[in-house]
């Protein structure tokens, strides 16, 4: 015996069906008409603030690393190789 499988629904049909149900729900409920854009706005603002904080912390840590590297690279040029005395041209 072979069983017949039900026809597979197209994904676009499912999406259209869900969209139609949500549209009807939102149209019937005035609170949702106001709440959904407000919630989306809050989520976008939170995402922007999170990205801004991440970029700011990366820039400040890069600046600190660059300053430390510059100090390390500059340190050997201030001392001579003989007994740790300052070079004559810097003294």
pLDDT digits (tens, 9 = 90+) for 24-83: 888 888 888 889 889 999 999 999 999 988 887 777 777 777 777 777 777 655 554 555
Domain edges within the chain: 32-91
The string of DSSP codes covering the chain is --PPPPPPPPHHHHHHHHHHHHHHHHHH-HHHHHHHHHHHHHHHHHHHHHHHHHHHHHHHHHHHHHHHHHHHHHHHHHB-SSTTPBPTTT-
User: What's the predicted TM-score (pTM) here?
Assistant: 0.47
pLDDT of residue 2: 61
């Amino acid at each position: 015996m072979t069983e017949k499988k039900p026809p597979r629904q197209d994904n676009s049909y499912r999406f259209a069906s869900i969209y139609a149900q949500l549209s009807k729900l939102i149209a019937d409920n005035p609170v949702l008409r106001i709440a959904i854009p407000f919630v989306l706005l809050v989520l976008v603002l939170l995402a922007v603030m999170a990205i801004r904080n991440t970029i700011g912390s990366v820039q400040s840590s890069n600046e600190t690393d660059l300053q430390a590297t510059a100090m390390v690279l500059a340190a050997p040029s201030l001392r001579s190789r003989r007994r740790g005395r300052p070079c004559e041209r810097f003294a």
